[in-house]
């Protein structure tokens, strides 16, 4: 019988998911962190540039990252109701101003 435990829970071949860059803002859950992703967009009517942010729940096996780490997240198959991303890479820790 073949062993089907695939640690890399990626999308099927030919379907690349989104990759986003953000900062870890919460790591209190088991195997899950919250990542804040910011983007810079122009308002359609007023033409002013604004910063929009969104929080994503990201799968982090063993809670390998901590609050303040800059991470790259990659879209994957649904892991739970709200988790659709995994951590692709981790950069140096950022100082979080309180």
pLDDT digits (tens, 9 = 90+) for 19-47: 999 999 999 999 999 999 999 999 999 99
pLDDT of residue 97: 52
Long-range contacts of 90-95 (CB under 8 A, 24+ apart): 90/64, 90/65, 93/66, 93/68, 93/69, 94/23, 94/68, 94/69, 94/70, 95/68
pLDDT of residue 91: 85
Q: Is the pTM of this model over 0.85?
A: no
pLDDT digits (tens, 9 = 90+) for 42-98: 999 999 999 999 999 999 998 889 999 999 999 999 999 999 999 999 987 666 554
Classify domain 26-93 by CATH architecture.
Beta Barrel (2.40)
């Amino acid at each position: 019988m073949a062993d089907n435990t695939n640690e890399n829970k990626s999308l099927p071949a030919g379907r690349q998911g989104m990759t986003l860059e953000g900062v870890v803002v919460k790591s209190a859950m088991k195997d899950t962190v919250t990542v804040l992703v910011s983007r810079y967009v122009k308002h359609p009517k007023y033409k002013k540039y604004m910063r929009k942010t969104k929080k994503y729940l990201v799968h982090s096996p063993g809670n390998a990252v901590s609050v303040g780490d800059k991470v790259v997240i990659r879209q994957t198959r649904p892991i739970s109701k709200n988790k659709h991303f995994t951590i692709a890479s981790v950069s140096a820790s950022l100082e979080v101003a309180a």
